[in-house]
Amino acid sequence: MIESEQITDDDSSGQDGLPSTNSAEKQTIVMIGLMGAGKTSIGRRLAARLGLPFVDADEEIEAAAGSSIEDIFERHGEAGFRDGERRVIERLLDGPPIVLATGGGAFMDAETRAQIAAKGISIWLRADLDTLVRRTSRRNDRPLLKTGDPREILTKLMEQRYPIYQLADITVDSFDAPADETLQNVLDALAAYRAAEAP
Ligand code: S3P
């Protein structure tokens, strides 16, 4: 939705520091977090900065199913959606390095979580309730938020999911800051993580 308007040619030419031959740079980065956390918006910007393709798992699931997430939920239920989601994410993790934005429930699946841990670097965009409520109110195509009051639903999801999301490799706060500020925090956290992981 929000494109990386401030990204210049420099951003895709390895100016972020590390040469493109560094294999750690080539690992898939997986954005996780609740609906409205900014996974797609920040993920797109991150991909541009790292010179990696950006892929949105929800869009891939829709393409694979030939129908919208809402239709998949309606026809196959949440369990059917989760099956498709697991398969699609596994396929993407087995492909070339990308920045992958996952749907909010993906990391809750133990098998998907194990795949992400084995094949990628996970980044949790942690947001507060008000931010999530505000951002999710801009769209009306999320089945889970249509079953009741979005604020109550998001509160419950925070309780259920945040203890699991914190298993991510990296956590970055995604509050009401400009996207470029959050992006910089992600880049800094990623660099620190890679430095700590380096042999
Ligand atoms: C879901 C989040 C959605 C989408 C589906 C279920 C969830 O993705 O995968 O509606 O369980 O939190 P976003 O987090 O990208 O909105």
Dump pLDDT digits (tens) for 52-104: 999 999 999 999 999 999 999 999 999 999 999 999 999 999 999 999 999 99
Find out whether 124 and 193 touch, Cβ atoms under 8 Å.
no
pLDDT at 26 over 80: no
Position 8 scores a pLDDT of 28
The SS3 of residue 175 is coil
Pocket of ligand 1 (CB under 6 A): 35, 39, 58, 69, 103-105, 142-144
Q: Report which protein residue has its CA nearest ligand 1's atom 15.
A: 103
Calculate the CA 43 to chain-centre distance. Answer: 6
Average pLDDT of 185-197?
Answer: 96
Position 1 scores a pLDDT of 34
- Phi, psi dihedral angles at 55 (to 5 degrees): -130, 135
CA proximity to 123, closest of 53, 48, 9, 27: 27
Find out whether 43 and 63 touch, Cβ atoms under 8 Å.
no
Residues whose CB falls within 8 Å of the CB of residue 47, separated by 6 or more in sequence, listed in order = 53, 54, 98, 99
Q: What's the token pair of residue 80?
A: 């059917």
Pocket test for ligand 1, best of 82, 142, 164, 174 (most atoms within 8 A of CB): 142
Q: What's the pLDDT band for 143 if we cut at 50, 70, 90?
A: very high
